[in-house]
Structure 1
Amino acid sequence: MATELGSQSGILIRIMSVEDYKQVKIFMGGNFYNGEPLCASSGEDVQKCHEKENDEYHISMIEQGTCLLAVDENNGGRIVGLVLAGCQVPSDLEKHRKEADEMEQNTWGRIAVFLSEIERKVNIFERYGVSKLLYSHITNVDASMRGKGLGARLAAALMEVGRSKGFPMMVAYCSSFYSARQKQALGMECIYEHAYADYKDANGQVVFKPAAPHTHLRLMVIKL
């Protein structure tokens, strides 16, 4: 498959390489962790939570050729958006449960526990009879580019990558109201949602308190 996936209005979408990761990490520090609802509302420097493990996980996805970069061709190739995505198989359900249980009780650890509970409850592999799927882990767009359709372009491009690699399905856990709405507009279906107000710890305290309209975690799927 071609490395470059299309240019529009000077913004090129291409396959991410491992060599890109240093700049990707800087971009995420300035755009993702302070914008994603669960991270942004935590009061914690979430990029520092399980940083080494997350770096390793992100690089493992990049090596699969399933991660995308959007770069501004008129501004020295500056990163303006990205997708981190990778393959998941049924054994990952138990792998993720063990990893989440062993994490520190920081924001990223709590998010991992929450997502693991949902993915085991829904069990897409059993539900749809598939042996692998493309998991859209993080989609992030530079603040200056939001509202211009770039997130939708990235999601659509990822679907094409998934089809070219033989994935039967793509899934995304949308913590943001806007990301869920965008993916729904691209044909993705919400098959499960969980209100943050209903997710509580052992003491009965609500774990995540992002600002409205981010009220639910939504699991979005599409057959490719």
Structure 2
Amino acid sequence: MTEVDLVNDIQIRVIKPSECDEVLKFLRIHFYPDEPLNIGKQQDAKDEEFAISQIEHGTSLIAVQQQIVNGVTSERIVGVLISGPKYSNEAEHLFKEADRLGSTNWGTLIRILAHAELDSNVFERYNVERALHIHVAGVDRSFRGRGIGTKLIEKLKDLGRELNYPLITADCTSFYATKLCERVGMECVNVIKYTDYLDENGKVVFKPPVPHEYLKTYAMRL
């Protein structure tokens, strides 16, 4: 029988490139199944590839807890935040990607994010040329409610300042993600109601379960 002891303190640090596989395994369990616009759909490999590709920028964070298994100390991932740079041509870039990807799950998701980027207009709104954008934030189900998501964003704010980013942004597809952004003082700069977001035939594109009703974009100066 394996004996496991958990040490209570949780450390947050930048994700190492060598940890990509472990991070993806974590997201497949603790993020993608709960992502409102992904529920009931097959996970798109392009979505995963994009998220993991952001790690190379050195702006993605991992929350780990030390654990001792049969006397051997190791780290357990309890939270992940994936972020990367974006620039003033982001909306144009996203629309082109959406056209290229077509009606795939990832292409459909990219298109609503393109509309959010265009409508929020953060680069003109805040008069900046680049921003640090949060793409993914996930916490181990058994560790939720302990403020790990808040700690990850606070750490990202510090990292963004160190790297001279003037702004951080996030597109929140989940009701719970919006509450997290509001807790850390981010400003809501755009709202898309899912029932108002229609395809070319006038049909609602996304029908996530309650309480997920909106895609909200948040921003904060650093």
TM-score, normalising length: structure 1? 0.89
Render the CA deviation track for 1:134-157: whole Å, top value 9, x for unaligned: 001100111111111111111111
- Flag the structure with larger Rg: 2
Q: Which residue of structure 2 aligns with residue 168 of structure 1?
A: 166
Is the CA contact 1:18–1:59 (under 8 Å) kept in the aligned structure 2? Answer: no
SS in 1 for 2:218: strand
AA in 1 matched with 2:111: V
Distance 1:38 1:58, change over 3 A: closer
Q: Which residue of structure 2 aligns with residue 200 of structure 1?
A: 198
Q: Which residue of structure 2 aligns with residue 119 of structure 1?
A: 117
Count of paired positions? 211
2:60 to 67, 71, 76: 67
Kindly state the Cα deviation for residue 187 of structure 1 after the two structures are TM-superposed: 0.7
In structure 1, the gaps of 5 or more residues are 1-7
State the alpha-carbon separation in 2 of the partners of residues 58 and 118 from structure 1: 18
Asked if residue 9 in structure 1 is aligned to residue 8 in structure 2, the reply is yes
Render the CA deviation track for 1:124-174: whole Å, top value 9, x for unaligned: 111211001000110011111111111111111111111111111100001
Q: Which residue of structure 2 aligns with residue 78 of structure 1?
A: 76
AA in 1 matched with 2:24: K
Is the CA contact 2:51–2:135 (under 8 Å) kept in the aligned structure 1? Answer: no
The 10-residue stretch of structure 1 (194-203 or 104-113) with the greater mean CA deviation from structure 2? 104-113
State the alpha-carbon separation in 2 of the partners of residues 59 and 185 from structure 1: 26
Whichever structure has more strand as a proportion of its residues is 2
State the alpha-carbon separation in 2 of the partners of residues 106 and 172 from structure 1: 23
Kindly state the Cα deviation for residue 53 of structure 1 after the two structures are TM-superposed: 6.7
State the alpha-carbon separation in 2 of the partners of residues 100 and 127 from structure 1: 24
Is the CA contact 2:119–2:190 (under 8 Å) kept in the aligned structure 1? Answer: no
State the alpha-carbon separation in 2 of the partners of residues 192 and 58 from structure 1: 23
State the alpha-carbon separation in 2 of the partners of residues 174 and 9 from structure 1: 29
Q: Which residue of structure 2 aligns with residue 23 of structure 1?
A: 22
State the alpha-carbon separation in 2 of the partners of residues 74 and 53 from structure 1: 31
The 10-residue stretch of structure 1 (173-182 or 98-107) with the greater mean CA deviation from structure 2? 98-107
State the alpha-carbon separation in 2 of the partners of residues 212 and 68 from structure 1: 29
Q: Which residue of structure 2 aligns with residue 5 of structure 1?
A: none
Q: Which residue of structure 2 aligns with residue 190 of structure 1?
A: 188
Is the CA contact 1:10–1:74 (under 8 Å) kept in the aligned structure 2? Answer: no
In structure 2, the gaps of 5 or more residues are 1-6, 69-73
Please give the root-mean-square deviation of Cα atoms over the aligned residues, in Å. Answer: 1.6
Is the CA contact 1:87–1:134 (under 8 Å) kept in the aligned structure 2? Answer: yes
SS in 2 for 1:62: helix
2:139 to 141, 165, 176: 141
State the alpha-carbon separation in 2 of the partners of residues 30 and 104 from structure 1: 27
State the alpha-carbon separation in 2 of the partners of residues 58 and 179 from structure 1: 17
